[in-house]
Amino acid sequence: MNNFASYLRNKKKFLILGCGFTGSFFAKTIKKFGYTALTSSRSENKDPNSFVFNSEKGIVPNEKIFDGVTHILSCIPPDKNGNDPVLESLKNKLQSLSLEWVGYLSTTGVYGNTKGDWVSEIDKPNPFQKRSHKRLHCEKEWIKSDLPVQIFRLPGIYGPGRSTFEAIRNQKIRIISKKDQVFSRIHVADITNAIIYLLQNKDSLKFHQIINIADDEPCAQIEVIQYCYDLLGLKMPKPILFEDAKKDLSPIAQSFWMENRRVSNNLLCETLGYKLIYKNYKTGLKNCFLNS
């Protein structure tokens, strides 16, 4: 990580487009190295390093924001028409800059349903949900843009302030069991640190345009929920079978259960040598428990 501090000092300027959960964690982490990134959100806020970018309202950042930018991380999902908000509004601008690197946060939803099998970057995407088709379209647009883009495919993101604990505390938890169903997940700190690791070792590692960032242990949702109840010292209510729960779920919640896959992190962790901070949900959730 110390290497990263010297990497940053060497005239790097970061823009983080979409400073939501992951974007703000990334910005905060960079700040710890004494470096400030400029971050976007859709409406004004008090942060002096924040600027407004809202593709829906046609609000684009002031030209000055882009002066000297070398690195961009886009954490913005596709818009309702399935287009990428950044490329729709800012592609020409980005292409006019001397960018060293662009990171794009995508989803492992592009792989579709593998019926529980492992899936890796060499597998052909096979999106099932409409939103995943839109996402794959955005990935393709980023690749076509000829910008120096690296795409990170992410499973369910959790971290302090956004995890099963909040769902339990806010009584929004649904305890559903579905035989043989697993989910992959990733702690927000590992998304951030993996990206930092790849940047820091950019010159020595082979460049891969698409990289999964997932933990080592895809598992059933109910295991995760049980673990949280145990940490909270509470008794977990009896689970409902998916078949019985289905009718009361929203279409989006139902779609979540329609895909079953294990996302491989071999490229990131074996080939490229990144060491996960949180290898599985237990270590990751312990961190959330202690920081919430």
Ligand X SMILES: NC(=O)c1ccc[n+]([C@@H]2O[C@H](COP(=O)([O-])OP(=O)(O)OC[C@H]3O[C@@H](n4cnc5c(N)ncnc54)[C@H](OP(=O)(O)O)[C@@H]3O)[C@@H](O)[C@H]2O)c1
Residues near ligand X (CB under 6 A) are 18-23, 41-43, 53-56, 75-77, 79, 85, 105, 107, 154, 156-157
Nearest residue (CB) to ligand X, 54 versus 70: 54
CB of 66 to ligand X, least distance (A): 15
Q: Which residue is nearest to ligand X (CB)?
A: 20
Nearest residue (CB) to ligand X, 34 versus 58: 58
Are the CB atoms for 109 and 261 separated by under 8 Å? no
d(CA 214, CA 153): 8
Nearest residue (CB) to ligand X, 21 versus 289: 21
Are the CB atoms for 15 and 30 separated by under 8 Å? no
CB of 52 to ligand X, least distance (A): 9
User: Rounded to the nearest 5°, which phi and psi values hold at 152?
Assistant: -110, 115
d(CA 127, CA 130): 8
d(CA 224, CA 185): 11
CB of 44 to ligand X, least distance (A): 10
The separation between the first and the last C-alpha atoms of the chain, rounded to the nearest angstrom, is: 25
d(CA 266, CA 270): 5
CB of 192 to ligand X, least distance (A): 11
- Residue 45: CB partners within 8 Å, gap ≥ 6? none
Nearest residue (CB) to ligand X, 38 versus 105: 105
CB of 156 to ligand X, least distance (A): 4
Nearest residue (CB) to ligand X, 44 versus 203: 44
